[in-house]
Structure 1
């Protein structure tokens, strides 16, 4: 869920910037820093808090720890704020940690709810697609979205490709949760392949070779099977 939040404050409104020094492209470098922090570290800590049911003072202590780390990053010059402030991070983390505990309880006791399964699979799909596609582009430069929304072409790419995931994840989650016949699964993959081809013909999706279009379709097919497996895990979930 943090990906939606980061899309607003980081990509659209440029709240802060990381400088890990891994990629030559400054914007991809920035997204890498944000992805490690908000795509791995914060969710992992949230899961720990939820599973072990850590209380108020533990959450306060962990939040203070994140506050100190962010201030240290600012001091070391590997991170900087534009309009964002460290106190905003602390407030958001405190809310996210409690939201994580709430969602964990929902998964344990109400996993059979249709809306909950749709929500879980929707965000699972966003996370997997967003993370995988980012590294695929940042490392191998296989494809690139270009729409001239921003002066920085890399920011342009991240903005559109993330929006793409937000939209296609709706269809992925619906098809999987409704357990539709194979026809609808095939229609989804073929439809996405047609969308990719159409965007390529418009010049919005630029690829290093036509075979990349096939690779994207293969990945989306793999994503469908992965979501079906996650749905099975949710279906088999039982109370302790």
Structure 2
């Protein structure tokens, strides 16, 4: 309980601020479905960035003290803290873009998050390794600028290639975070091996995460938008083959005896994620 008040509570406050910004933006949006889809894409952008600087480059660490199960890798708690951070900055990016806030608001909000970072570090619930607060300010400022650019292109209509990019970004929170990590990984149904690079187990695990998801997302997206059924079948077989090869090569570790049903569910969820995003984005054509 002490950890809740000293650590977890601050992350929950950040989560409440995130929820408030998203609800406020959706309330003032002309097309709430597409706005929410855009938010999911915005979440994916910093998550891909943080995959490199947090996991591969060990820039900093979060300590929300949410995942405390001794049977689960304690690094998952760091990842949970990261989610509060990235969903938070994405909610601000959404508000700034959709509400068309003036340029100086990018500076103000970036500064606020930098100060929140300073506060979290002071409280001992976040720690820099080599990262600096001024880097956070610059990174967020650029993120807010890019978000407004993405929103402007979305309202004017994006071409197929750009649209696929929005979908791949949106699949990170829906598929990678919610399903692969939040369900399969944390509950032990399917995990990636840590032995590919024995001296770097974290890079092994999450490097496979990134490679597996990106390759399969691209395949699934390609198959989803094909008009001829034969290419859809080819895509399903290709994704299933990759999962099987990962299983046989001991890169993917499944709950004993559950390879087939979990593999089928994985394929279904990836297609379902694309369908959700495509439906949200294309539901209405008027401006957000």
Task: Normalising by structure 2, report the TM-score.
Answer: 0.75
Q: State whether residues 18 and 31 of structure 1, in contact with CA within 8 Å, keep that contact through their aligned partners in structure 2.
A: yes
Q: Which residue of 1 aligns with 2:79?
A: 31
The answer for the alignment partner of 1:159 in structure 2 is 207
Q: Any conservation in 1 of the 2:196–2:251 contact (CA below 8 Å)? A: no
From 131, 140, 152, the counterpart of 2:177: 131
C-alpha contact 1:121 1:231 (8 A) present in aligned 2: yes
Does residue 169 of the first structure (1) align with residue 217 of the second (2)? Answer: yes
| Per-residue Cα deviation, 1:33-59 (whole angstroms, up to 9, x for no partner) | 112211x11111111111101112222
Task: Classify 1:62/1:213 alpha carbon distance in 2 versus 1 (closer, same or farther; 3 Å).
Answer: farther
Q: Is the 8 A contact 1:28 1:138 kept in 2?
A: no
> Aligned pair 1:10/2:54, yes or no?
yes
Aligned residues: 237
Equivalent residues of 1:145, 1:204 under 8 A apart? yes
Aligned position for 1:83: 130
Q: CA deviation at 1:152?
A: 5.9
Q: TM-score under structure 1 normalisation?
A: 0.89
The higher relative CO (CA closer than 8 Å, separation ≥ 6) is in 2
| Partner residue in 2 for 1:68 | 115
Within 1, Cα distance between the matches of 2:49 and 2:235? 27
Cα RMSD, aligned residues only: 2.1
SS at match of 1:168: helix
Q: Is the 8 A contact 1:126 1:169 kept in 2?
A: no
CA–CA distance in 1 between the matches of 2:284 and 2:198? Answer: 44
Moved over 6 A (4+): none
Cα distance in 1 between the residues matched to 2:100 and 2:165:
22
Which residue in 2 is equivalent to 1:208? 255
Preserved CA contact (<8 Å) 1:145 1:205: yes
CA contact under 8 A between 2:174 and 2:273: conserved in structure 1? no
1:118 aligns with 2:161: no
Residues 101-136 of structure 1: per-residue CA shift (max 9 Å, x gap): 11011011023x112211111212233221021112
Structure 1, unmatched stretches of 5+, are none
Q: Distance in 2 between matches of 1:154 and 1:33?
A: 17
Q: What corresponds to 1:47 in structure 2?
A: 94
| Greater Cα offset, 226-235 or 61-70 | 226-235
